[in-house]
Amino acid sequence: MAAKIDQTQVKKVAKLSRLDLTETEAAEFTGQLSAILEYMEKMNELDTTNVQPLAHCLPISNVFREDAVKESLGTEKTLANAPQRDGEFFKVPKILDEI
């Protein structure tokens, strides 16, 4: 039987997941994810044509609260764990190219 997922697909999924994989990892994950997805086929034994999807188990939908102003964390606490900061900002590499 053909593998459920090949290395090209694994690399594509890794890109979507923003995960840099080494070649060794890509090969290892291809085999493992294939076996896992193969197992998932088991679900197709069940006819679910008339079954509603269930996203969570609680009998609640919209939960409202008063739109009240409350104290928030504040700049210092929010930035305290930043890997790099610049004054009151999170610092990241340049996002826009030169025009």
Partner 1 sequence: MQSELLNMSCKELRDGIAAGRIKSAAATEAVFGAIEKYEPVIGAYISTFEGRALAKANEVDAKIAAGEPVGELAGVPVAVKDVMCTTFGVTTCASRILENFHSPYNATVVEKLLAADAVIVGKTNMDEFAMGSSTENSGLKETVNPWDTTRVPGGSSGGSAAAVAGRMCFAALGSDTGGSIRQPASFCGVVGLKPTYGRVSRFGLVAYGSSLDQIGPVTRSVADCALMMNVIAGRDPADSTSVDEKNAPVCDYLEKLDEPVDKLKVAIVPQFSAGADEPVQKALTCALDVYKKLGAEIIEVDMPHLDYAIAAYYIVATAEASSNLARYDGVHYGHRTENAGDYVEVYSKSRAEGFGKEVKRRIMLGTYALSSGYYDAYYLKALKVRNLIRGDFAGAFEKCDCVMMPVSPTTAFKIGEKIDDPLTMYLSDIYTISANLAGVPAISIPCGFDDSELPIGLQILAPAFAEDRLLRIARMFESNTDWHRKKPTIVE
User: Residues in the site for partner 1, rule: CB under 8 A?
Assistant: 5, 9-10, 13-21, 25, 29, 32-33, 35-37, 39-40, 42-46, 48, 51-60, 63, 65, 73, 77-78, 80-84, 90, 92-95
Q: How far is the CB of 15 from partner 1 (least distance, A)?
A: 8
Contact between 72 and 44 under an 8 Å Cβ cutoff? The reply is: no
State which residue, 1 or 57, has the beta carbon closest to partner 1. Answer: 57
Q: How far is the CB of 47 from partner 1 (least distance, A)?
A: 10
Nearest C-alpha neighbor of 79 from the set 66, 92, 89, 69:
89
Q: What is the DSSP letter of 5?
A: S
Alpha-carbon gap, residue 89 to 75, rounded angstroms:
9
